[in-house]
Amino acid sequence: MKAILPVAGVGTRLRPHTHTQPKTLVHVAGKPILGHILDRLLPVGVEEVVLIVGQWGDRVVEYVRGAYPQFKVTAIEQAERKGLGHAIYLAREAVPADEPVLIVLGDTIFHADLKAALASGRSTIGVRRVADPRQFGVVELDGDRVRRLVEKPANPPSDLAVVGIYYVRHSGLLFECLQEVISNDIRVKGEFQLTDGLQRMIERGEPLYTFPVENWWDCGNPETLLKTNRDLLVLLEPPVADVPGNIVIPPVVIEEGAVIRNSIIGPYVSVAAGAEITDAIVRDSIVNEGACVSGILLKGSLIGHKATVRGSFTRVNIGDSSSMRLGGGNGELE
């Protein structure tokens, strides 16, 4: 089975971290976002991944081929970002029309029984109930079948949000419907939507069902990325790292090749290979490859690839009943 992964997103809300790398390669809980997605495709029989890439697409391909040699990799460039429907349509020549296809968004880390969903043999999409469905694609059900799909509706017909996992039995039909959407210039907020293609499949008589997604994690901005890091570290329960001369408070992931000296790490910290942390206290943070952190306390922080963060310890001598506030420069005595 083939899986299409659209990974051309630039991740504007994650800048400056996405100024120099694609969003899907941003680290969280010990590996790039894309790695967590591919981990969920390995057990369900996916043999080939079709990557819809944009800027720095060569880095995405290099990562997948190096870290996941089990997959055959096909890369297709999306030179202009015209929406998810357009991205999927670009894969039409890489997926035979008579074969099923799995589509997973390249920034959607999910937890679901994907094997059971595929074993049903039916076209099905992952859904989850949300508090505010107006910011998602939404499904309206007729019994257990999908009657209608609406992209980011002002008046949602239900609270079932489309999570970003789609299994389509007849890929050829999907590509035909997407071609209709593009040829007729049917856009939502300026983009061609996959939901419009799926809606046309339903109207042609293709049954579409849903399966529950237990959880999925947003990696769209620094705050949600850090929350995803915390949640995944709890869920994955990585082994407690043994780093002599340091204190490690789990859950923490310290990749092989990272160097930690005289520091306290954790909880909720992900340290990538090649990073160096010296004389520091780091908690609730992500330290990326090759970063250098020393002499500082970090909390709720994202440290980019090969970035350097240095602080200093402070000596104070203040009298009784005094108060001092220490900042980035000289202390202020009150």
Is the pTM higher than 0.85? The answer reads yes
Is residue 333 pLDDT above 90, yes or no? no
pLDDT-based confidence at residue 59 (cuts at 50, 70, 90): very high
Q: What is the CATH number of domain 240-310?
A: 2.160.10.10
Q: 171-224: per-residue pLDDT in tens?
A: 999 999 999 999 999 998 889 999 999 999 999 999 999 999 998 887 778 888
| pLDDT value for 152 | 81
Nearest residue to 82 via CA among 188, 153, 198: 188
Q: What is the CATH number of domain 2-217?
A: 3.90.550.10
Give the pLDDT mean for 289-301. 92
Where along the chain do its domains lie?
2-217, 240-310
Q: 137-150: per-residue pLDDT in tens?
A: 899 998 889 999 88
Is residue 322 pLDDT above 90, yes or no? no
- Give me the chain's average pLDDT, please: 89
* Whole-number Å distance between alpha carbons of 324 and 334: 6
Main-chain dihedrals φ then ψ at residue 212, nearest 5 degrees:
-80, 140
| pLDDT value for 18 | 64
| Pairing state between β 297-299 and 281-283 | parallel
**Token code pair at residue 314:** 């402070």
